[in-house]
Chains A and B, each alone.
Chain A
Amino acid sequence: MIRSTVRSRLVVIVSAVVAAGGVATTPAIVAGLVYREWGDMLALAVTAAAGLAIWLFGRRFMGVEGTFTSSEGFAAVAVAWFVLSLFGTLPYLLSGAIDGLVDPFFETAAGFTTTGASVLADPGQLSHAMLLWRATTQWLGGMGIIVLSVAVLPMLGAGGVELARAEAPGPEPERMTPRFRDTAERLWWLYVGLTGALAVLLVIGDMDLFQAVAHAMTTMPTGGFGTEPDSLASFSPYTQWVIVVFMVIAATSFVLHFRAWRRPRAYIESNEFLAYMSILAGAILIIAAGSWSLAGTVDAGIRDAVFTGVTMVTGTGYWVVDWTAWVPGLLITLFVLMFLGGMAGSTTGGLKTYRLGILYKVITASLRRIVYPRMVSVHRFEGRAVEPRIVDGVLAYFLLYGGFFVVGSALLGFLEPSLDVVTAGSAAASAISNVGPALGDLGPTATYAGLGVGSKLVLSLLMIVGRLEIYPVVILLTHRWWRR
């Protein structure tokens, strides 16, 4: 049994997170009022009331002395995320907007993890209120992941400390502010501001206000839930370019944006940013070269390549061109790009550029050691030495990530005998890296609705595992309290 003080704190945290989910129904309720969708609005209002009730229950446990140990903290993060994903299904369940029990959970998990995989063939089948709730789950997930990566995980210290460096990318070791809370607050304002700016830019184009808000709320968390059956394919080139720019911004470290606000040079001084840009450029070039013959015009060819490269690397999951029928070389490229992700401290999923950077250093160092056996092995990143335990953590992360991917795709293969290897593998990759669409039968135009219950749960779990950067979930599952 968990010690009671720990349990009290866990209840407080989970109920606070759920309460935040309840408050987050507000935009959707407003949409319900505006569009006179009373039934769905009621479901959302009941959800909000449930959130309030859970908070009123949970707050009674406040004021317990002491703090979490780091493993308890990690476990709490994982529990809170699972509970929030369950809570978020309430509007769908109560209104019947999405049928069954598993589909709403899959959709909510894809929302809070900012994955963007969907069971809906046409999002237009949902009411405005439900569409906005769906977008809100991603927007809230993005906020959660920012505070998680820059505030909570570093504060917990051990284990996933490799993330701690996310709070201070760039050469200066200083933190942004002395208190994590202040840091998180500033980054949230930046996040809110960027969302607002994007919505304005989209309204200027060919989106109506509702579409603009819904897309702004799913672009900033690199989520990818849209409002149209063909994602962004039918919108104007202007709109597509604006989305491209904001996907790139959203997958850049928010701490870096903050620094660059006062010192624009901060971007080019960041090795991780430069590596991220190089990955994007390389991805776009390969896609452009491979898909050139398929494009109608030069303009569309460039735009499709840029959009597809950016959506894959950032893990957003919007699309403007259906890549299902592309040549195998391009499909393999897309498959690899799914894993990469953007920078640490952003809303992107995937392995993240700094881990790729450290892996690159480890590989080059091991090659150099063959030439210079007496070499002193210290890996440097962003002008600073990286502690050996962080390097170990990063290498372990690659192995864990690969392990979850392999087990996940194998499970899919067993559960869905009709799927081909490409589809099963890419669906697992897309889920763990929080991308959304996959390849093969689960490409951009397809939905996940046809999968069985087991497969949907496996994919939902992969999304959460990937979103929480694996460690919290692993610690939750392996902690000693299970053995008592």
Chain B
Amino acid sequence: MRVVIVGAGHDGYYLAERLVAEGQEVVIIEAEEEKATRIQERLDVLTVHGNGASPTVLRRAGVDAAGLFLAVTDNDGANVLACRSAKALGVRRTVARVEDPDLREVSPGLGVDVVVDARISTARQAAKLAEYAGVTEYADFADERLSLVAGVVTPGSPVDGHTVLDLRMSVSGAWHFIVAAVVRGEETEIGRGETRIEAGDHVVVMVEAGHVREAIRLFGIDVEPISRVVILGGTRIAEMTAELLLDAGYEVLIVEAEPERASLMARRCRALILQAEPTDAEFLTSLRLGRGDVVMGLSGLDEKNLMGCLVARAVGAPKTIARFGHRSVAGLLRNVGIDATLSSRVAVANMILQFVRRDRILSVATVKDTDAEALEIEIARESPSVGVDLANLNLPRDAVLGGIARGADVIVPRGDTTLAPGDHVVIFAKSDAIDAVEKLLLP
């Protein structure tokens, strides 16, 4: 399928990278010469230099043959306008990134089929990462009933040296889990019964949302029982995250350097606002960071988030979480003292990838260190998988079924479980196995 992307900023670049990896035909429209050249040099895409709302430019990009049109520049208005032009030229589906809530409401009438705003899901992810400070990944599926959580197995943890099957035996009854993957060095092994877990492994576990803490304890992931969250940077995401954490009963501080922004935040947000430079060591020392604290860099600047988290770590913060725009850096940071990273760009891309794939795919989550990802798929009545038990489904070796949401229930799959129409299944798979998974599950 041809996908046309308007905007080669961080979002556009990352989307293009992911789509190319999946074998899609990608055309990028970018107004800035330099960005256009850079992406052309690095990715196997066609770049068109020009205004994404101009019909001439759009024709040059071949939108008439495009199955999907994505407008992801930083400018809401430009995105909507581009979609409108593309729609007029006959594009089937248009997706725009729109952050202004008012504009989002009227967008459907303006030629935008789908509006994405990743801030809500990013804030939710940030809040969960803070609550389980110490895990490396957190994602929700099936209306927040299934959780994906990842972390590093500590030496001396009860799972060290055991196989997944052993663990399954030891935890019976009350709750269930699926080991989606074990990452050891460069190797990603999709979880099987015989997979052996060792200290230092990065494990990815699927578990019912209510039992995340038990899973964390079982795998010996070192988490901090937090009471105070210090957020660096007074961004909109910081505010949304703070509200979620306040509702959950934590003390939340937001640090913002710019006085005007700080007082605006103080008027709008229930969190305590501190007007100070988030990377200032003296200031961070004065917070007496220690047990029960987690520091999150949620400003819009990667280097500020990194710097703030590192300084906070140095003056006593037990756990730190940083937001990053450049995904390439994210995976490298765990070893330098950042426990988890999150990226609104990855979230935007994940939302958009749902439309690239077929309609029945509801959400996508990626895990750093590995090219594996989690997909939530709704099983259609016509799906070939309906009525087949899992033992005979022949899922590819590099894919595992992480959980099934059926009606109000969450089912942890076993060999004799059969899929029914309307089930939401969460599949964890390496990227080269995704095609095969889709063939098995989608009609």
Contact = CB atoms under 8 A, between A and B. Distances in A.
Interface string A360-384: 0000000010001111111010000
Contact of A376 (B263, B270, B283, B287): B263
A374 B268 CA distance: 18
Given A372-B272, A378-B266, A380-B267, 10 more contacts: A368-B272, A372-B253, A372-B274, A374-B283, A375-B273, A376-B263, A376-B275, A378-B263, A378-B273, A385-B266
Contacts of B287: 372
B276 interface: yes
Interface string B249-290: 000010000000011011110101111100000010011000
Contacts of B273: 375-376, 378
Interface of A: 368, 372-378, 380, 385
A363 to B, nearest CB: 15
Contacts of A377: 266
B268 A385 contact: yes
A385 B267 contact: yes
Nearest to B274: A374
Contacts of B274: 372, 374-376
Nearest to A373: B286
Nearest to B280: A374
A258 B69 CA distance: 50
Nearest to B277: A374
Contacts of A378: 263, 266-267, 273
A372 B272 CA distance: 9
Select the residue from A374, A378, A380, A385 with max chain B CB neighbours within 10 A: A374
Interface extent on B, as a size class?
Answer: 10 to 19
A181 B78 CA distance: 46
A380 B265 CA distance: 12
Contacts of A368: 272
21 contacts: A372-B253, A372-B274, A372-B287, A373-B286, A374-B274, A374-B283, A375-B273, A375-B274, A375-B275, A376-B262, A376-B265, A376-B266, A376-B273, A376-B274, A376-B275, A378-B263, A378-B266, A378-B273, A380-B270, A385-B266, A385-B268
A148 B272 CA distance: 36
Contacts of B263: 376, 378
A368 B251 CA distance: 12
Nearest to B288: A371
B267 A374 contact: no
Contacts of B283: 374
A380 to B, nearest CB: 7
Nearest to A379: B266
B58 to A, nearest CB: 44
Nearest to A385: B267
B267 A375 contact: no
Nearest to B256: A376
A375 B274 CA distance: 4
A374 B262 CA distance: 11
A379 to B, nearest CB: 9
A376 B263 CA distance: 6
A365 to B, nearest CB: 9
A375 B262 CA distance: 9
B156 to A, nearest CB: 37
A13 to B, nearest CB: 37
Closest 3 pairs (CB-CB, A-B): A385-B267, A378-B266, A376-B266
B272 A375 contact: yes
Contacts of A380: 267, 270
A348 B174 CA distance: 55
Select the residue from B265, B266, B270 with max chain A CB neighbours within 10 A: B266
Contacts of B265: 376
A376 B265 CA distance: 9
A461 to B, nearest CB: 40
Interface string B274-310: 1110000001001100000000000000000000000
A368 B273 CA distance: 11
B266 A374 contact: no
A375 B287 CA distance: 11
Contacts of B270: 380
Contacts of A385: 266-268
A377 B262 CA distance: 10
Nearest to A368: B272
A394 B99 CA distance: 39
A375 B275 CA distance: 6
A374 B276 CA distance: 7
A378 B259 CA distance: 13
B311 to A, nearest CB: 16
Nearest to A387: B267
Contacts of B268: 385
B346 to A, nearest CB: 31
Contacts of B286: 373-374
Select the residue from B262, B267, B274, B286 with max chain A CB neighbours within 10 A: B267
Nearest to B254: A376
Contacts of A372: 253, 272, 274, 287
Contacts of A376: 262-263, 265-266, 273-275
A373 B265 CA distance: 17
A389 to B, nearest CB: 14
Nearest to B269: A380
A372 B252 CA distance: 12
A378 B283 CA distance: 20
Nearest to B261: A376
A374 B263 CA distance: 12
A43 B268 CA distance: 59
A371 to B, nearest CB: 9
Contacts of B262: 376
A373 B267 CA distance: 18
B269 to A, nearest CB: 9
A385 B267 CA distance: 5
A372 B276 CA distance: 11
Select the residue from A372, A375, A376 with max chain B CB neighbours within 10 A: A376
A176 B262 CA distance: 32
Select the residue from A368, A373, A375 with max chain B CB neighbours within 10 A: A375
A373 B273 CA distance: 11
Contacts of B276: 374
A355 B266 CA distance: 20
Contacts of A375: 272-275
A322 B263 CA distance: 52
A262 B262 CA distance: 37
